[in-house]
Structure 1
């Protein structure tokens, strides 16, 4: 059973969600304060986290930033504010999905199931294998294993969020092809409903930083993005 941590200061939210999540074989743990949530994340094993934006001690954006410094756990953000700028900020900080309040519990479960399915058991260094699996994409300095959802840069594991991995995998499957923003949105929107044009640029920017010193994602002005690395036969 997958374990999910909810960090939300609404005491009334946890109990009914915990009961509802059990119907989908999801074990929900509720932390009321960011400090409690961070302590649990550091001490226990969770498969995904749900963060409210409006929190005491620190807001959900700062909490997301703190978690991302330590973990690539899938993150779904909740907020009563449906402003597009909030979604942009959340994605810039590394959130995988964004759901405005009020929400239907089934919609939240669907988001969690999506990020867990995309994650497919990949947990960073422990899941990276030295032997290439069938379907592995190998380039000069970069290895992408879609089965384990792991990425190696120069032999070192790169921790990516689910959205970052999906975008990199899309570019790598047809390396050299230029994907427009619309191409990327059409390919990934089914997995991440909050993706939109500005978000593509944000995720690309994050990918470039994480893949440094490789300079492998090229921008073609008014055209789109492509992965520019020599392919290596596995």
Structure 2
């Protein structure tokens, strides 16, 4: 049974989605208060979060940021706010997907299953442990150690950084990342790739103006160096 936390103050919508998703073996826990939602995440285990942006007491973008500070589970933003700035900010704050309201519950179910598949599935025929100077990439466990400490990455962040590590020294285009990383859908834009790269850089403590590891190649993509 897949367990999902829905932080949503529209209880009628939450009830409709809960009843619909039950047929797919998806159990929804609803928190209509964002503070209760954050507390629930700290005391229970979930596979994914569905997060509204317009919430009482605290904006959903801030809630997304708080979740990502402590958890790596996928986050789907479900919001009636259609401003592109909100979408970009949500991705910058750690969201994995953005679904504008209104939407068909079937689409939500499809996006949930897609994210969960990407979170779980990375296969490789290469040796599972590849060591670099500052980074230890373990593809079997889907983990990356940076300076001997495990990085807390989303599925998309892990996929991009792992791919760049394996292509060390070579220029990797944004399109190559889109089409070769399972955790990134083909509909992903180049701008979204840049946003995810920005999140990775933050977790590495990198200054994008003077990067040590991930270097932007104008008009093409990125190069990973150590």
> How many residue pairs were aligned?
219
Distance 1:54 1:194, change over 3 A: farther
CA distance in 2, matches of 1:193, 1:35: 35
How far off is 1:194 after superposition?
6.4
Q: Which residue of 1 aligns with 2:7?
A: 7
Query: Does structure 1 residue 141 correspond to structure 2 residue 134?
Result: yes
Superimposed CA distance per residue, residues 107-149 of structure 1 (whole angstroms, 9 cap, x where no aligned partner):
1112222222222299xxxxxxxxxx94333211212223322
Structure 1: distance between partners of 2:82 and 2:204: 32
Unpaired runs of 5+ in structure 1? 123-132, 230-234
2:182 and 2:128 mapped to 1: Cα distance?
23
- Output the CA distance in 2 between the equivalents of 1:13 and 1:118: 27
Q: Distance in 2 between matches of 1:99 and 1:219?
A: 29
Corresponding residue for residue 69 of structure 1: 69
**Is 2:192 the partner of 1:199?**
yes
CA distance in structure 1 between the partners assigned to 2:135 and 2:51 by the alignment: 32
**Residue-by-residue CA offset, 1:14-55 (whole Å, 9 max, x unaligned):** 222222222222211111110111111111111110100111
Q: Alpha-carbon deviation of 1:223?
A: 2.9
Q: Separation in 2 of the partners of 1:193 and 1:11?
A: 33
2:159/2:182 contact within 8 Å kept = no
Q: If the length of structure 1 is used for normalisation, what is the TM-score? A: 0.84
Partner of 1:128: none
The answer to which of 219-228 and 74-83 deviates more is: 219-228
Measured in 2, the distance between the counterparts of 1:177 and 1:193 equals 22
Q: Residues 193, 29 of structure 1: CA spacing in aligned structure 2 closer, same or farther, 3 A cutoff?
A: farther
RMSD, matched Cα: 2.4
* Separation in 1, partners of 2:62, 2:205: 24
Corresponding residue number in structure 1 for 2:161: 168
Provide the C-alpha distance between the structure 1 equivalents of 2:109 and 2:168, rounded to a whole number of angstroms: 34
Corresponding position of 2:219: 222
**Cα displacement string for residues 158-183 of structure 1 (whole angstroms, at most 9, x for unaligned residues):** 10112211211222332222122333
- 2:172 pairs with one of 173, 179, 184: 179
- 1:106–1:191 Cα change, 3 Å: farther
User: 1:223 and 1:135 mapped to 2: Cα distance?
Assistant: 29
